[in-house]
């Protein structure tokens, strides 16, 4: 208290000057229309800038919540689309064998959040915040709004680990958009933005920036999910296949929310395929 009194006494002249300045400005503004308009205009600019800064800060801190809502909405729309495709297939059963969309109607989607991931290792992994209690099982595909992410490897009650494309163990069956020829996309352990498409023979016509999509030849991914685009390609006399560099569709350095793909009839498909190889 004594320090406060000493400060007030010591600064009394300055405080009196400041008070008189405020009173003078108030009198000028209140009795002069021009000065009043200038003051209000300046005040509006300052207040507007403050509001804008506050809104930007609020939007930034709400971004994670908004992303979660968008991911949940996207997942619901995917499931609704599968349901409608299934209903459509039921209405025209004779088209089931020829309509590829009817096969995709058998897929469901489970929303999950990435809680841990790596991109700079030889064996990269992604951890999700959902596990068996949410219906996730090993060998389920994982995608996001951009394209293919990877395949579920191991699952606990509340968590699951995904082998992403950025792992040499992952091998995704893909097809070319134009010719429909299919091959395997692999990662060579270098850039997190690029992979390689193998097993495409030289006689097939391919194009730069051509889309590479899932082939649908397994119960892991629906047909037609984007994997990436051809960045460049080359031929080798010692090899009858192209060397194709693929720009991956998913940005693994900024991965947040994903959808785990569930194939309803996977058990039936697995059993009938096993019966061919007893």
Residues 8-35 pLDDT 10s: 666 667 767 677 767 666 666 566 655 5
Query: Does the residue 24 lie in any domain?
Result: yes
Query: Does the residue 82 lie in any domain?
Result: no
Query: Does the residue 72 lie in any domain?
Result: no
Q: Please give the tally of structural domains in the chain.
A: 2
Query: Does the residue 70 lie in any domain?
Result: no
My answer on whether 233 and 157 are in the same domain is: yes
| β strands within the chain, DSSP E | 107-117, 126-128, 141-143, 148-155, 160-164, 172-176, 182-186, 194-198, 211-214, 226-236, 239-248, 257-263
Q: What pLDDT is recorded for position 152?
A: 95
Q: What pLDDT is recorded for position 252?
A: 94
My answer on whether 135 and 245 are in the same domain is: yes
- Reported pTM: 0.66
My answer on whether 205 and 275 are in the same domain is: yes
My answer on whether 53 and 125 are in the same domain is: no
77: number of Cβ within 10 Å: 11
Q: Which of 198, 192, 209, 190 is nearest to 239 (CA)?
A: 198
My answer on whether 44 and 135 are in the same domain is: no
Residue 276 — φ and ψ, nearest 5°?
-80, -20
Query: Does the residue 100 lie in any domain?
Result: no
Q: What pLDDT is recorded for position 97?
A: 43
My answer on whether 24 and 150 are in the same domain is: no
My answer on whether 129 and 255 are in the same domain is: yes
My answer on whether 39 and 157 are in the same domain is: no
Query: Does the residue 196 lie in any domain?
Result: yes
My answer on whether 35 and 124 are in the same domain is: no
Query: Domain limits at 247?
Result: 107-278
My answer on whether 49 and 112 are in the same domain is: no
Query: Does the residue 101 lie in any domain?
Result: no
Query: Does the residue 93 lie in any domain?
Result: no
Q: What pLDDT is recorded for position 216?
A: 84
Task: Please list the ranges in the chain whose pLDDT falls under 70.
Answer: 1-12, 15, 17, 21, 23-105, 236-238, 265-278
My answer on whether 52 and 111 are in the same domain is: no
Which positions ≥6 away from 262 have C-beta within 8 Å? 107, 108, 109, 110, 135, 136, 137, 140
My answer on whether 237 and 139 are in the same domain is: yes
Q: Which of 250, 248, 214 is nearest to 230 (CA)?
A: 248
Q: What pLDDT is recorded for position 44?
A: 45
CATH code for the domain of 246: 2.40.10.340
| Tokens, residue 177 | 């958009």
């Amino acid at each position: 208290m004594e320090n406060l009194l000493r400060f007030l006494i010591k600064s009394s002249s300055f405080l009196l000057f400041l008070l008189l300045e405020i009173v003078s400005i108030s009198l000028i503004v209140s009795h002069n229309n021009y000065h009043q308009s200038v003051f209000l205009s300046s005040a509006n600019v300052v207040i507007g800038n403050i509001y804008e800064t506050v809104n930007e800060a609020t939007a930034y801190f709400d971004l994670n919540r908004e992303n979660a809502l968008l991911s949940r909405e996207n997942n619901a729309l995917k499931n609704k689309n599968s349901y409608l495709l299934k209903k459509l297939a039921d209405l025209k059963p004779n088209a089931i064998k020829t309509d590829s969309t009817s096969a995709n109607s058998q897929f469901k989607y489970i929303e999950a959040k990435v809680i841990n991931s790596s991109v700079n290792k030889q064996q990269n992994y992604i951890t999700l915040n959902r596990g068996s209690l949410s219906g996730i099982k090993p060998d389920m595909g994982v995608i996001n709004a951009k394209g293919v992410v990877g395949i579920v490897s191991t699952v606990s009650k509340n968590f699951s680990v995904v082998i992403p494309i950025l792992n040499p163990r992952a091998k995704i069956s893909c097809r070319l958009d134009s010719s429909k020829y299919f091959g395997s996309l692999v990662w060579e352990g270098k850039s997190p933005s690029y992979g390689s498409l193998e097993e495409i023979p030289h006689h097939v016509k391919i194009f730069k920036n051509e889309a590479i999509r899932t082939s649908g030849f397994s119960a892991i991914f629906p047909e037609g999910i984007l994997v990436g685009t051809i960045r460049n390609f080359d031929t080798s006399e010692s090899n009858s296949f192209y060397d194709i560099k693929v720009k991956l569709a998913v940005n693994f350095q900024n991965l947040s929310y994903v959808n785990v793909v569930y194939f309803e009839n996977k058990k039936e498909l697995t059993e009938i395929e096993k019966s061919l190889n007893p």
